[in-house]
Amino acid sequence: MDYLPLFHKLDGRPVLVVGGGDIALRKSVLLAEAGARITLVAPEIEPEVRAFVEARGGSCRVERYAADQLAGHCLVIAATDDDAVNEAVSHDAQALGLPVNVVDAPKLCTVIFPAIVDRSPLVIAISSGGDAPVLARLVRAKLESWIPATYGQLAQLAQRFRARVKTRFADLQARRIFWEEVFQGEVAEKVFSGQPQAAEQLLEAKLTSETATFRGEVYLVGAGPGDPDLLTFRALRLMQQADVVLYDRLVAPTILDMCRRDADRIYVGKRRAEHAVPQDDLNRLLVKLAQEGKRVLRLKGGDPFIFGRGGEEIEELAAEGIPFQVVPGITAASGCAAYAGIPLTHRDHAQSVRFVTGHLKDGSADLPWTDLVAPGQTLVFYMGLVGLPTICEQLIAHGKDPATPAALVQQGTTLNQRVFTGTLQDLPQLVAEHEVHAPTLVIVGEVVALREKLAWFEGAQTAV
């Protein structure tokens, strides 16, 4: 993060603007909206600029810039078309420790103006650090269309009740849950539909209700195979409201960063025969945290109900009477195959697909081999790298053609994705030659041959 976003209170405070043209006017408009007391300095000041500044209680000085003009100001804006003047303003301001913005010159700035979505008192700032201002404006346009103007009214309503809510709920977590229910429920809908009085009455009733207590809950959420764009809207919403996040090693850091920043995070990752938190202990931990009244996010790579042990976890939650939600995720087989350009089914090649775990609970690979070698199906092996030689040997021994197309997809759907294709017989050799590591998906079937024509997401892939 190159810039730390901060919101400055400028109401009644002195700000110096150096420049007298259109650029200075644009910055002056923003400063005036924030209540700043503007002093504008330039050898020539356009009438429109002067009229605006003076109408808002500011002053204009028709003179060239000099360093002594900086004294007494809390912020400095250089908005001229003279590079030498802009550089001098930046140098002098920084020497005095004053925040300075030089329009269209990020390297001379200590502060920058973001694109702004104004729903006062709710204000949203978007910045690209000066690298792509057009992109920042496009993002602002999207937010402008998505966030109703009435969000400001909702924020004002919350402000009027804030002190009473703080008194009613001494616990910070209880207050947070209360407000989230307000902002996502009936109260907000009344505001959005133009019924502010009804909204206030609902909020009053909600605040004085004797049943305004909160129970813990567990969210079992699938994070997908790695690409953050594959998360569901519901997953994102729950990720943003959870108090505690329990995550495994297959959850990408970019996805974990999308969780609420102040949530507690507990790593419970698993590798083959190496668990940071044993499954039974994890189940009990979910129950314990929920019984403490916390909203617990159990964030899993892929889909929680496909080799994710989600069923085991919610069995214990159900037995203890803990409320829970399950949010499906795109499982690795679907996501990795799609990004590798390998359709799992195809009318000419595979009429069914089977998801198979590479090792069972007891650590063995005693699989129904006779069923797995049936024609017209695609096999997808999860966690199959360690047992891959055995898997290939057994499939061939039970009648699978050694020349059956097969693929290894490492870190599928991410920019680090690598795809290696070959045959069932030479898969173990591919692993050794290319130092393939987990997480890697194994796909066996005629559909793999279609990758040559259908691969679309190459990125940093290496195809063999």
Is 22 annotated in some ligand binding site? Answer: yes
Q: What is the 8-class DSSP label of residue 346?
A: B
The catalytic residue positions are 248, 270
Q: Contact 39/58 with Cβ under 8 angstroms? A: yes
Is 413 annotated in some ligand binding site? Answer: no
Query: Structure tokens of 272?
Result: 């083959």
DSSP codes of every residue in 190-254: HHHTT-HHHHHHHHHHHHH-TT-----EEEEEE-BSS-GGGS-HHHHHHHHH-SEEEE-TTS-HH
DSSP codes of every residue in 94-150: HHTT--EEETT-GGG-SS-PPEEEEETTEEEEE--TTS-HHHHHHHHHHHHHHS-TT
292 contacts: CB under 8 Å, gap ≥ 6:
216
Q: Contact 335/308 with Cβ under 8 angstroms? A: no
Is 301 annotated in some ligand binding site? Answer: yes
Is 83 annotated in some ligand binding site? Answer: no
Q: What is the 8-class DSSP label of residue 313?
A: H
Is 412 annotated in some ligand binding site? Answer: yes
For 86, 262, 354, the CA distances from 379, given in Å and listed in that order, are 65, 42, 5
Query: Structure tokens of 344?
Result: 């799992």
Is 306 annotated in some ligand binding site? Answer: yes
Nearest to 19 by CA among 49, 41, 46: 41
Query: Structure tokens of 283?
Result: 């189940």
For 69, 349, 359, the CA distances from 74, given in Å and listed in that order, are 12, 71, 65
Rounded Cα distance between 302 and 380, Å, is 14
Rounded Cα distance between 427 and 423, Å, is 6
Is 310 annotated in some ligand binding site? Answer: no
Rounded Cα distance between 173 and 170, Å, is 9
Is 23 annotated in some ligand binding site? Answer: yes
**Three-state secondary-structure class, residue 3:** coil
What letter represents residue 18's amino acid? V
Q: List binding-site positions for S-adenosyl-L-methionine.
A: 225, 301-303, 306, 331-332, 383, 412
* Binding-site sequence positions: 22-23, 43-44, 225, 301-303, 306, 331-332, 383, 412
Which residues participate in the annotated binding site for NAD(+)? 22-23, 43-44
